[in-house]
């Protein structure tokens, strides 16, 4: 997935996307069919689902516990199934810098397995980003309770969770929306999020969104990040993107930005992406954000986005020092002296590649073509 412009190349983080449970597995399978480059694995107790999704990398767990069936909404069976096959999960995590877990909460497999997988991944030294969809109200009290409890357990493991509240994806005008389409909306939001985050982390960008920045956001967002994405095409693409974000249901029709404590904005465009468009989007979003917000942004260039502009925003409503010291738990440290046994990623200044002959992008006397971690002298830990 690494794109190198010349011999001196920044090592992109290894990102593994892991779909857990039936809806997580289906979501990840849909992502890999759209983007075969994505490093992904599907994990479920249900062999029927795993066979149907047609993904190469899939792991069946709990064969002796659920005998190839789903857990039937039994969280304890989901937990036992993953514990039983934890060595298989560990194998997947070798060399992984960022594990992105995708699941729908409310069933037994995803809700039971996620806290276990998170623990294993942290022990393996990976940063874990969990993207979960919480159930629609129409799914009933029991399923919603299972999801709430799963969130609590995940939180007590101090993982950063990007929560997509399915209920926010519908409103009164959707009364006649078929349930299948409601789920499809949730699916789409997850896909957009995963694609954008992995694109911003792994593509050479005009302004790279680095791993350190995501790490800071995840450590300090007090457990939860909200997420929304928007796309625009043609001459008015920047305007469309801003308007879509500012009335986005997952951002409480834009109101969430006004109280944001932290935000990461990622833009992706083609080679035709203009500086004025980046400026338009950033300026208008920043106008909505409080002055004291912790803000970072990245811009990725992908030829597939010619004529288009795509934006994602991660929003933290709280900003706190983490309760658990992830640095110590994960063997990570931004300050080498605090943790002398740990190595650091050897990241070197990348060449500007196809932008070699272009003018530098200067903002507030900083050359934005130089990756943030170099400008701010941040050492990326391993």
Q: Which of 39, 139, 148, 243 binds ligand GTP (CB under 6 A)?
A: 139
From ligand GTP, Mg ion, none, which one binds at residue 143 (CB under 5 to 8 Å depending on kind)?
A: ligand GTP
Asked if residue 191 binds ligand GTP (CB under 6 A), the reply is no
Least distance to Mg ion from the beta carbon of 73, Å? 9
Interaction residues for Mg ion, span 63-92 (CB under 5 A): 70
Rounded to an integer, what distance in angstroms lies between the CA atom of residue 194 and that of residue 187? 11
Q: In this chain, which stretch among 181-189, 240-248, 328-336, 364-372 interacts with ligand GTP, using CB under 6 A?
A: 181-189
Of the pair 136, 211, the CB lying nearest ligand GTP is at 136
**Binder to ligand GTP among 13, 19, 62, 110 (CB under 6 A)?**
110
The residues with which 268 forms a beta bridge, in sequence order, are: 300, 310
| Helix (H) or strand (E) run with residue 301 in it | strand 294-301
Beta carbons of 295 and 263 less than 8 angstroms apart: yes
Residue 233 is encoded by which pair of tokens? 């095409």
Chosen from Mg ion, ligand GTP, none, partner binding at 310 (C-beta under 5 to 8 Å by type): none
Confirm or reject binding of residue 183 to ligand GTP (CB under 6 A).
Answer: yes
Judged by beta carbon, residue 103 or residue 260, the one nearer Mg ion is 103
Which residue of 13, 62, 108, 193 would you call a contact of ligand GTP, by CB under 6 A?
108
Contact flag: residue 111 with Mg ion (CB under 5 A): no
Site string for ligand GTP, 327-356 (x = CB under 6 A): ------------------------------
Q: Judged by CB under 6 A, does residue 115 bind ligand GTP? A: no
- Tell me which residue has its CB nearest to Mg ion: 22
The reply to whether 71 sits near ligand GTP by the rule CB under 6 A is yes
Q: How far is CA 92 from CA 25, 97, 145, 264, in A?
A: 15, 12, 31, 28
Q: How many CA atoms lie within 13 A of 58 on its CB side?
A: 24
Tokens at residue 275, please?
């500086």
Cα distance between the two ends of the chain: 19
11: left (phi over 0), alpha (psi -120 to 50) or beta: beta
Q: Is 22 in the site for Mg ion (CB under 5 A)?
A: yes
CA distance 375 to 207: 12
Pick between residue 66 and residue 372 the one whose CB is nearest to Mg ion.
Answer: 66
- The DSSP-derived string for 229-268 is EEEEESTTHHHHHHHHHHT-GGGTTTHHHHT-SEEEEEEE
| Cβ nearer to Mg ion, comparing 70 with 130 | 70
Candidates 287, 335, 295; CA nearest to 313 is 295
Residues forming the site for Mg ion (CB under 5 A): 22, 46, 70
Residues forming the site for ligand GTP (CB under 6 A): 21-23, 26-27, 44-45, 70-73, 78, 104, 106-110, 133, 135, 139, 143, 166, 183, 186-187
């Amino acid at each position: 997935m690494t794109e190198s412009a010349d011999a001196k190349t920044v090592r992109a983080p290894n990102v593994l996307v892991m779909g857990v449970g039936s809806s997580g597995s289906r979501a990840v399978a849909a992502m890999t069919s759209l983007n075969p480059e994505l490093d992904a694995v599907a994990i479920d107790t249900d062999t029927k689902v795993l066979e149907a999704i047609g993904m190469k990398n899939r792991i069946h767990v709990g064969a002796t516990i659920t005998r190839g069936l789903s857990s039937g909404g039994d969280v304890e069976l989901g937990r036992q199934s993953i514990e039983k096959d934890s060595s298989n999960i560990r194998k997947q995590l070798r060399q992984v810098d960022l594990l992105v877990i995708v699941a729908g909460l409310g069933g037994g497999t995803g809700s039971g397995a996620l806290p276990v997988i998170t623990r294993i991944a942290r022990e393996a030294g990976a940063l874990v980003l969990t993207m979960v969809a919480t159930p629609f109200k129409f799914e009933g009290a029991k399923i919603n309770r299972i999801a709430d409890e799963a969130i609590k357990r995940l939180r007590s493991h101090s993982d950063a969770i990007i929560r997509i509240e399915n209920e926010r994806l519908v409103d009164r005008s959707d009364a006649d929306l078929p349930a299948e389409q409601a789920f499809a909306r949730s699916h789409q939001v997850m896909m957009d999020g995963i694609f954008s985050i992995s694109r911003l982390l792994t593509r050479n960008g005009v302004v790279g969104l680095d791993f350190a920045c995501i790490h800071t956001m995840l450590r300090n967002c007090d457990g939860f990040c909200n997420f929304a994405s928007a796309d625009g095409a043609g001459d008015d693409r920047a305007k469309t993107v801003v308007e879509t974000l500012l009335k986005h249901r997952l951002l409480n029709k834009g109101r969430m930005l006004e109280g944001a404590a932290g935000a990461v904005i990622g833009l992706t465009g083609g080679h035709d992406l203009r500086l004025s468009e980046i400026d338009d989007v950033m300026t208008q979003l920043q106008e909505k954000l409080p002055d004291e917000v912790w803000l970072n942004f990245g811009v990725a260039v992908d030829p597939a986005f010619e004529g288009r502009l795509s934006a994602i925003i991660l929003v933290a409503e709280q900003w706190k020092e983490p309760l658990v010291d992830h640095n110590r738990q994960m063997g990570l440290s931004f300050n080498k002296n605090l943790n002398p046994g740990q190595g650091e990623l050897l990241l070197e200044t990348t060449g500007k590649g196809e932008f070699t002959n272009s003018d530098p992008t200067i903002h507030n006397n900083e050359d934005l073509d130089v990756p943030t971690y170099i400008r701010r002298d941040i050492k990326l830990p391993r």
